[in-house]
Amino acid sequence: MTHEHEKTLMVVGGGLAGSEAAWQAAQRGIRVRLYEMRPKVTTGAHVSPYLAELVCSNSLGSTLPDRAAGLLKAELRRLGSLLLQAAEESAVPAGSALAVDREIFAQKVTAALENHPNITIVREEVTDIPDQPAIIASGPLTSPRLSQALARLTGQEHLYFYDAIAPIVVADSIDMGVCFRASRYGRGEQTEGDYINCPFDQARYYAFVEALTHAERIELRAFERPVLESSAGVRAGKGKFFEGCLPIEVLARRGPDALAFGPLRPVGLTDPHTGRRPYAVVQLRQDNLAGTLYNMVGFQTNLKFSEQRRVFRMIPGLEQAEFARYGQMHRNTFLFSPALLHPTLQYRGRPGLFFAGQITGVEGYVGNIATGLLAGWNAARWLHGQPLIVLPRETMLGALCHYITHASEADFQPMKANYGILPPLPRRIRNKRARYAAYSQRALERLDAFLRERETS
């Protein structure tokens, strides 16, 4: 039995997850010490001393009820999220998305936590795993010293360190006189094919590989070097390549045909302009709903932006390509949660220890807020001696927690809210929008029933 005077919780990291977690626990009568290392120690991406700083985009994604991000927000609203409320109060016009004035948002969260009678904010770096009840929410840019402590706790093989994103091309700038729409073997939802394919002949393919292997790479920032760079390129914590995320230029260096047998393989594709299978194919996948942006599949890269522009414009059909975003590699510290966490976000090996945010393998601002909420709630319940909450798998938050704690090792990659992780509906609905609306409706009904049950029990 836990005694009143012992009901103190340490929260490590005052980002999105840690701020929400601290609030949730404090609201349930727990005394919280929230440790944030900024501004004394920086992450390299954050620029302010505020809690809950948004490091990049100011958009928290869709608010529409039949979108995964919209559903997650609806769940957070029902669960009483502080950060969602602060976001809604600092919203700027952005159509059906929730975009915020990032400064007002962070100031609101900081003020709410500073003024909470149960919360003390400590501006210090935590360098070891606390030996008291705690939530670790130190984010993708966890300080190196704490990362080392985590590796000691979990075993080096259970901690990953990086993430990779591919460039995005503006649809209008793709030459459709050269490219063609098709899915491999004609699979896909649109009749004309879900992918735009850029077909290489042999000569142009080898010229491209030659340019790619000699292009200049970005000098990694000091805080990224130890984890993103190795003699052969980028590797995961366990010292083996994470094949799905290798930078394209590293893969190209394995041999002239490595790409043609890898992400650029042409199997299942026939170029309607020639009637033949190309030598190699770059596939572009729709990146936004409007269909104005296309993601270069498998093209995560660490090349300099100017080099990406020069080399990727050698791809047939992309000679005039405009890049809405260049590829990047950045540090992303996350646990192999399937081996380490329960769906309650409790650490398997230590009952008073919880994890929240990006470090659990959940991706995206709202997902990180959501795991903070659950970890704060459960840490408070643990301290009060109550059974922990496992949310229904039909809810988006329940599904995210289930996914990160049950995925297989081979497939485990950071996951953001999406309908694909929810259990199937009892009967198949062909229309995508109607299907997503049904998923959302079911999720909210289950969540409401779950909350009602808890009130009456």
Distance CA 101, CA 223 (A): 28
Looking at 364, 394, 400, 436, which residue binds ligand FAD (CB under 6 A)? 364
Write each residue from 39 to 68 as x if it is in contact with ligand FAD (CB under 6 A), else as -, in one continuous string.
Answer: ----x-xx--------xxx-----------
- DSSP letters along 374-439, please? HHHHHHHHHHTTPPPP---TTSHHHHHHHHHHH--TTT---B---GGGSPPPSS---SHHHHHHHH
| Least distance in angstroms from the C-beta of 90 to ligand FAD | 16
Distance of CA 351 to the CA centre of its chain: 26
Q: Does 141 interact with ligand FAD (rule: CB under 6 A)?
A: yes
Contact 324, 165 (CB under 8 A): no
Name the residue with tokens 């949730």.
Answer: 24
Residue count, binding to ligand FAD (CB under 6 A): 34
Q: Does 357 interact with ligand FAD (rule: CB under 6 A)?
A: yes
Q: Does 358 interact with ligand FAD (rule: CB under 6 A)?
A: yes
Instruction: List strands edge to edge, sheet with 134-136.
Output: 119-122, 31-35, 8-12, 134-136, 353-355
The nearer residue to ligand FAD, 35 or 439, going by C-beta atoms, is 35
Give the binding range for ligand FAD (CB under 6 A) out of 3-11, 138-146, 231-239, 303-311: 138-146
Q: How many CB atoms are closer than 10 A to CB 441?
A: 13
The nearer residue to ligand FAD, 359 or 391, going by C-beta atoms, is 359
Distance CA 229, CA 225 (A): 5
Residue environment code for 75-92, b if the CB has 16+ CB neighbours within 10 A, otherwise e: bbeebebbbbebbbebbe
The nearer residue to ligand FAD, 162 or 312, going by C-beta atoms, is 162
Distance CA 209, CA 211 (A): 5
* Touching ligand FAD, residues 366-385 (CB under 6 A): 368
Distance, first Cα to last Cα, the chain: 21
Q: Does 36 interact with ligand FAD (rule: CB under 6 A)?
A: yes
Q: Does 260 interact with ligand FAD (rule: CB under 6 A)?
A: no
Looking at 9, 10, 11, 17, which residue binds ligand FAD (CB under 6 A)? 17
Looking at 7, 9, 10, 14, which residue binds ligand FAD (CB under 6 A)? 14
Write each residue from 81 to 110 as x if it is in contact with ligand FAD (CB under 6 A), else as -, in one continuous string.
Answer: ------------------------------
Structure token digits, residue 445: 């009904």
List residues binding ligand FAD (CB under 6 A): 12-18, 35-38, 43, 45-46, 55-57, 125-126, 137-143, 146, 330, 357-359, 364-365, 368
